[in-house]
A and B are shown apart, each in its own frame.
Chain A
Amino acid sequence: MKIHVKNVIKRFGDLLVLDNVSFRVYENEFLCICGPTGCGKTTLLNIIAGLTSATNSNPVLINDEPIDPQKHNISFVFQEPSCLPWRNVRDNVRFGLEIKKAVLKQGLSENEIHDKVRKIISLVGLDEFEEYYPHQISGGMKQRVAIAQAFVMDPDLLLMDEPFGYLDVQTRYYMEKEVLRIWEKLKRTVIFVTHNIEEAVYLAERVVVFTELPARVKAVIPIDLPRPRDYTDPKFVEIRRQITKLVKWW
Chain B
Amino acid sequence: MKKIVVSDKILNILVILGFIGLWQLMATIIESPFFPDVIETMRAFVDLAKHGDVDGYSLLAHIEVSLIRIGAGFGLACLIGIPLGLIMGLFPITYEGSRSVIEPIRYIPPIAWIPLVIVLLRGFSRYVFIIWLGAFFPILINTLTSIPRVNPVHVNVARVNGADRGYIVRHVVIPSVLPEILAGMRVGLGVGWMCIVAAEMIGGEMIGLGYLILKYAQLLMIEYSIVGMVLIGIIGFTMNEVLVRIEKRLFKWRWEVVV
Contact call B256/A136, Cβ cutoff below 8 A: yes
Contact call B254/A75, Cβ cutoff below 8 A: no
Is B13 part of the binding interface, using a Cβ–Cβ cutoff of 8 Å?
no
Contact call A85/B167, Cβ cutoff below 8 A: no
Q: Closest A-chain residue to B172, C-beta based? A: A84
Which residues from B are CB-within-8-Å of A100? 161-162
Contact call B256/A135, Cβ cutoff below 8 A: yes
Distance between Cα atoms of A80 and B171 in the complex (Å): 20
Interface size class of chain B, counting residues whose CB lies under 8 Å from the partner chain: 20 to 34
Contact call B163/A76, Cβ cutoff below 8 A: no
A81-122 contacts to B (CB < 8 Å)? 81-82, 84-86, 95-96, 98-100, 102-104
Size of chain A's interface in residues, with CB distance under 8 A? 31
Contact call A76/B157, Cβ cutoff below 8 A: yes
Quote the shortest CB–CB distance from A20 to chain B (angstroms). Answer: 25
Contact call B253/A133, Cβ cutoff below 8 A: yes
Contact call B153/A82, Cβ cutoff below 8 A: yes
Quote the shortest CB–CB distance from B59 to chain A (angstroms). Answer: 42
A-B contact count (CB 8 A): 71
Which residues from A are CB-within-8-Å of B8? none
Which residues from B are CB-within-8-Å of A82? 153-154, 156-157
Is B259 part of the binding interface, using a Cβ–Cβ cutoff of 8 Å?
yes
Residue of B162, B163, B176, B251 most packed against chain A (CB within 10 A): B162
Contact call A135/B167, Cβ cutoff below 8 A: no
Contact call B167/A76, Cβ cutoff below 8 A: no
Quote the shortest CB–CB distance from A87 to chain B (angstroms). Answer: 8
Which residues from A are CB-within-8-Å of B175? 84, 86
Contact call B159/A103, Cβ cutoff below 8 A: no
Is A149 part of the binding interface, using a Cβ–Cβ cutoff of 8 Å?
yes
Is B252 part of the binding interface, using a Cβ–Cβ cutoff of 8 Å?
yes
Contact for A99 among B162, B176, B256, CB less than 8 A: B162
Distance between Cα atoms of A135 and B251 in the complex (Å): 11
B160-181 contacts to A (CB < 8 Å)? 160-164, 167, 171-172, 175-176
Quote the shortest CB–CB distance from A143 to chain B (angstroms). Answer: 12
Distance between Cα atoms of A147 and B254 in the complex (Å): 23
Contact call B252/A133, Cβ cutoff below 8 A: yes
Is A197 part of the binding interface, using a Cβ–Cβ cutoff of 8 Å?
no
Which residues from A are CB-within-8-Å of B160? 49-51, 69, 74-76
Contact call B156/A104, Cβ cutoff below 8 A: no
Q: Closest A-chain residue to B254, C-beta based? A: A85
B126-167 Cβ-contact flags toward A at 8 Å (1 or 0): 000000000000000000000000000110111111111001
Q: Closest B-chain residue to A106, C-beta based? A: B162
Which residues from A are CB-within-8-Å of B162? 69-70, 99-100, 103-104
Additional 7 contacts, C-beta under 8 A, given A99-B158, A137-B259: A50-B160, A69-B159, A86-B175, A95-B158, A99-B161, A103-B162, A149-B157
Chain B residues with CB under 8 Å of chain A are: 153-154, 156-164, 167, 171-172, 175-176, 251-254, 256, 258-259
* A–B pairs, 5, beta carbons within 8 Å: A51-B156, A75-B160, A76-B160, A82-B153, A136-B258
Closest 6 CB pairs of A and B: A96-B161, A76-B160, A85-B253, A70-B162, A99-B161, A82-B153
